[in-house]
């Protein structure tokens, strides 16, 4: 659906990759403070092992531009200078912008260009803030931090940033420890999402084995674990419908129904056809417990209301004043975007092929 240029603020998120760049991803930016002998190394990762892939040529003024063939699946890379590294995600053929200050590039850098980059930078900033006290070990036991990271993971468990989070080690210890039941639940959500949505991704087998090898043999559910699971839900969206009534996404997902969360724009050219397709699924499964929570990103509130009043499901407006938090929380880079919540209130699928929406919903009912 062609939405860019019709929204108030989405363009700042670099919603779609630019055309005509070939099947490559791109880095550009600037690194200041480099010494004469400093080498900027691009490194890849293989199940926790970092290996050098290339070196980045830095011009005299600190600027650089680099391109590399896309490998067909998202991944995490890092730039290393000496013992310091900064991490960045590559999803497809996007252009990522990096600015950094040497020598401490791990603490002094910024990423922009994609929602994934913004989310990964947010994760690293949270971890830096927690380790600033000097007690590195407290990071892995900080319940508030783990809860916030857990929400980020469950909002898009098949995303590359959630993989980064559960693979992260702090002070030599895993941030999400598979030996801890609460952490294993989060790891299991990611493993299941990768298994369903990224079966050919080289990380999928690793994640599945990590979860299965640490899963309790008894299968008994601990009450404390259930309480933790209920607390670590996806991010809420709390906005008004066309009649001025406020709706909460998490209130809707807590009622035992299957819920479609849809980010869209009614002013987009393909919006009517998309809503017809959505309505077909809604009419088919609503009596069995399907609900839809549709978030519209439209600058013309009157036009939005005219469309919204004719729709049978919940539709709310995310206007300019509401910002882009919902898009960042759910790692949305283009519209429309569709997620499915199961009857337990968990995000279980991000639907990328709309022709499979019907079967995806039916499987959850």
Percent of the chain with pLDDT over 90: 51
Cα–Cα distance list, 112 to 144, 328, 359, 361 (Å):
26, 12, 36, 34
84 and 161, same domain (yes or no) = no
In this structure, the answer to whether residues 242 and 226 fall within a common structural domain is: no
Low-confidence stretches of the chain (pLDDT < 70) are: 1-22, 47-48, 134, 217-233
CB-based contacts of 209: which residues, under 8 Å, 6+ apart? none
In which domain, by residue range, is 200 found? Answer: 136-231
What does the pLDDT read at residue 71?
83
Query: pTM for the full model?
Result: 0.62
The pLDDT assigned to 339 comes to 92
Residue 223 burial class via C-beta count within 10 angstroms: exposed 0-12, middle 13-18, buried 19 and up: exposed
Q: Does 10 reside within a domain?
A: no
pLDDT given at position 217: 59
Do 254 and 146 share a domain, yes or no? Answer: no
The rounded Cα 148 to chain-centroid distance in angstroms is 13
How far is it, in rounded angstroms, from Cα 202 to Cα 278? 33
- The residue from 184, 204, 231 where one domain ends is 231
pLDDT of residue 55: 95
**Domain of residue 273, CATH code:** 3.40.30.10
């Amino acid at each position: 659906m062609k939405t860019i240029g019709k929204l108030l603020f989405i363009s700042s998120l670099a919603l779609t990759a630019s055309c005509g760049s070939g099947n490559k991803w791109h880095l550009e930016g600037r690194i200041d403070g480099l010494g004469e002998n400093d080498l900027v190394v691009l490194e890849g990762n293989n199940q926790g092992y970092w290996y050098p892939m290339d070196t980045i040529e830095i011009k005299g003024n600190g600027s650089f531009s680099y391109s590399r063939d896309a490998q067909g699946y998202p991944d995490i890379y890092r730039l290393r200078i000496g013992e310091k590294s900064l991490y960045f995600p590559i999803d497809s053929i996007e252009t990522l912008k990096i600015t950094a200050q040497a020598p401490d590039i791990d603490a002094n850098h910024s990423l922009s260009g994609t929602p994934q980059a913004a989310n990964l930078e947010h994760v690293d900033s949270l971890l830096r803030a927690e380790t600033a006290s000097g007690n590195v070990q407290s990071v892995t036991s900080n319940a508030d931090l783990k809860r916030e990271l857990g929400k980020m993971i469950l909002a898009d468990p098949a995303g590359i940033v959630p993989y980064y989070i559960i693979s992260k080690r702090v002070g030599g210890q895993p941030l999400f420890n598979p030996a801890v039941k609460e952490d294993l639940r989060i790891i299991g959500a990611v493993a299941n999402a990768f298994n369903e949505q990224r079966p050919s991704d080289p990380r999928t087998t690793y994640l599945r084995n990590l979860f299965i090898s640490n899963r309790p043999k008894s299968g008994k559910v601990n009450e404390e674990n259930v309480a933790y699971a209920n607390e670590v839900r996806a991010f809420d969206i709390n906005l008004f419908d066309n009649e001025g009534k406020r709706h909460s996404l998490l209130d809707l997902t807590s009622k035992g129904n299957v819920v479609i969360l849809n980010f869209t724009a009614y002013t987009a050219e393909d919006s009517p056809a998309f809503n017809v397709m959505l309505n077909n699924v809604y009419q088919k499964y609503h009596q069995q417990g399907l609900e839809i929570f549709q978030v519209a990103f439209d600058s013309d509130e009157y036009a939005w209301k005219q469309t919204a009043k004719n729709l049978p499901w919940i539709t709310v407006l995310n206007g300019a004043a509401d910002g882009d938090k919902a898009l960042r929380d759910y790692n949305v880079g283009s519209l429309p975007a569709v997620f499915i919540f199961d009857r337990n209130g968990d995000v279980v699928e991000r639907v990328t092929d709309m022709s499979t929406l019907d079967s995806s919903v039916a499987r959850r009912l």
